[in-house]
Structure 1
Amino acid sequence: MSEETTRGRAAVSGVAWRRRWRVPEKYRTKGTARPEGGGRSAGGDAPAPIRQWPLLLVLATTLVGLVVTLADFRIGLLIVGGALLTGAVLRAWLPAVGMLAVRSRFTDVVTYAVLGTAVVLLTLMAEPRPWLEVPFLSDILRFSVD
């Protein structure tokens, strides 16, 4: 058999295989539900930046924090952590936050709050000269390194 004939048969059998293993129509996803609170935070006649102000506020604050990090990493990272905590507060407080809503309200609030708190606490404990000392963490580190 020639190589071209072999390729042709492989392509035909590959198409047949794909058709045979397709997901039945009744099991296919028809659409995805919008997250709770995922509606516009302003009317549809408002420009896009006004409709998405909660997300833009969090992103702008994060950007400011990253720029400040170039001068003083602690202050900059505290601003980034504060931006995440602000996102948690906005998601919990406002009925519609636009694209700041990713999953359910509870999941978004917990995720933003945990990540923001982690960034703030790790920044406060950063070396050299940490602003916050947690004795049991230094013991865990000492025992894990030895």
Structure 2
Amino acid sequence: MGAGTSPADGTGTGGQAAGAGPATDEPTVEPAVEPTEGPAGEPAGGPAGEGAEDGGPAPARSRRFSLTRDTARPEGGGRAASGDAPAPARQWPLLAVLCTAGAGLLTVAAGPFDQAFRIGAMLIGVALLAGAVLRWVVPSVGMLAVRSRFTDIVTYGLMGALIVLLALMAQPEPWLHAPFLQDVVHFTIR
């Protein structure tokens, strides 16, 4: 090994491989790169065969690893009615849940009678519970399907049940008494 030689990569100070022969001033010939095709059979550089700016071949597409190619529709995320039905009819499960929750919000906001906040909150919870039941029973629920069927049922069901229980236990004069809550409150407030 002489000066300027690296045993790791086999190159000397001239940048050529060890034992490759004397350095010459002749240009090296690179192998031709075939342009790859992009979407719809167009060259990767763009439409109409646009290549690199200097008129050379189009750059090859990136070979980076990608975990996903596209986002899959959740199971049951198809239309709830046939394609020739009007748009609201195709999304009837979502509209049923949204209209019920909207009626609950309107009831809470307007407060037309005593205990309206409790009834309105219960309507919101019932809407979420109905969404869980629809997601379980109906095979295609349209845009009500957000995640997998199991995840949607658990999410809608838990949130709906919690909202209904909180509405029933709301103060003053709760409709559902939970004695352990008084112990928790007394323990934390002391």
Same fold (TM over 0.5): yes
* Percent of aligned pairs with the same amino acid: 59
- The unaligned stretches of length 5 or more in structure 1 are 1-22
What is the Cα-based RMSD across aligned positions, in Å? 1.3
Equivalent of 1:83 in 127, 136, 140 = 127
Residue 36, structure 1, aligned to residue 75, structure 2: yes
> Which amino acid letter does the alignment assign opposite residue 187 of structure 2?
F
> Partner amino acid for 2:170?
A
Measure, in 1, the Cα distance between the counterparts of 2:182 and 2:75.
Answer: 41
Post-superposition Cα deviations, 1:15-51, rounded to whole Å, max 9, x if no partner, equal: xxxxxxxx95332531011101101111111111010
Aligned pair partner of 1:49 in 88, 100, 119: 88
2:176 maps to 1:144: no
Is 1:119 the counterpart of 2:158? The answer is no
Equivalent residues, number: 124
The answer for the alignment partner of 1:68 in structure 2 is 107
Distance across 2 between alignment mates of 1:54 and 1:68: 21
Q: TM-score normalised to the size of structure 1?
A: 0.81
TM-score (norm 2): 0.63
Instruction: Considering Cα pairs closer than 8 Å and 6+ residues apart, tell me whether 1 or 2 has the greater RCO.
Output: 1
Structure number with the higher helix fraction is 1
Partner Cα distance (2:93, 2:125) in 1: 16
